[in-house]
Structure 1
Amino acid sequence: MKIITWNCNMAFRKKAEFILTEQPDILIVPECEHPDKLIFKNDIARPTDLFWFGQNPNKGLGIFSYSDFKIELLSIHNPEFKYVLPLSVSNDEIEFTIFAIWAQKPKNHDCYTEQIWNAVHFYSDLLNNENIILAGDFNSSSIWDKPNRIYNHSNLVELLKNKNIYSTYHSFYNQEQGKETASTLFMHRKIDRPYHIDFCFASNNLINKITSVQIGEYENWTKYSDHKPVTVIFEI
């Protein structure tokens, strides 16, 4: 199973053909327009299933299946965590719980991690299961940690670790949070402003089935978005 998360920087309908060359089974797209606006060119593959959530029809969170996986929002979804979406992604052989994420800035401060931190606590029991994936634009990094802030990025990573859930990139490449050698965001598309803020976390039973983790190259993706796709392949 190949899962890709890519913040497309809006207008996904104009950019789908480029990410689809990567042949995802499941594609998570923050900043995606409403499905009513997704008018693709005739030669662009249509998803077999999709789910979209948002308040702005030009800028929501889209999840697409390009395989036999079906996507369904779980009834446990708490609208308070608008862009942390618990989804059942399944076919006839296997079922995953995938949390599609596009972290939003809180009203009273600038720490995007708070929304995910609160959601992880709310969905705590669900996260005890196997076949758990959290993927998307977290808008957070350990380099921005404030020690007196309980919901900083490092504490979120530790909280997930206590659930036996780990970052696929950091596990595969044996790298530390905040010391990544590959970046997923180039602020304002500038090569001298790199950050690693897009993640795919997975439960331990899936970590052991990873065959590849790739971050898109700056030169290949910057004309489409300030974010680079994160691609993870599981041998399922």
Structure 2
Amino acid sequence: MHAEHVEETLLRARALIESTVSLHRRRTGGPAPVSRTDAEAVGQAMEQLVAGARRSVSLALVADGKFAVEARRTLARLPEEEGPGRPGPVVRVLCVGPAAEGAVDLLADLHLPQIEVRVAETDLREVLIVDGRGALVRSGAGPVGRDAVTVNDPAVVRALDLFFAGAWSRARPLARHLCLSPRLDSDQTRRVLEMLREGHTDEVAAQELHVSLRTYRRHVAEIMRELGANSRFQAGFRAVELGLLPSQG
């Protein structure tokens, strides 16, 4: 599953999951594997979920909204160690889009020995996953009282964990993100890289981008220099590695 398809996959999975909730209740009479969490109860739901964390806490943040605020507050309460010689859970925070601007502050605020922050531009809903046993997914739609979905079903949580892992593997570490040249982080650069990856000739690419052939070739040369690439193929590989382009096939 490619990182750029994670959002669509999550939406399909959530729709399918929620369609089975009422049926599950009628058959078992027990609690549903998926339930709505009111916006005001998001913080409490996070605390309950993270309280039993032993191995891993995976968090995807998109914007500096209530979900992000409560998530940071909850993670700040995590103990650095579970006991003598027993470190706390591994914490992975994926900052997506607008959330990338606060990635440095987030890392500074969370004094955890086992935390890593990465940055990506892919579409992904905000989600908190703990030990592969429970998750909280921000819905981002509907009335305020339906702000998040709590997931307890093991199979569904496992799927969410795999989706997160796919996006994480294609994201760039925070240190690499900070070292990325502003010249590379632009729409023009991405369009040129897309032309290169699609195999367009310089003439066709220049026409598509509405620039002269000389200007296009200058852009290509500058991008290769910034990426430290010796060939156009290597430039494309490095672009995917840095998250400037999504991976394909």
TM range (shorter): 0.3 to 0.5
Structure with more of its chain in helix, by fraction = 2
The alignment's TM-score, normalised by the length of structure 2, stands at: 0.31
Structure of larger gyration radius: 2
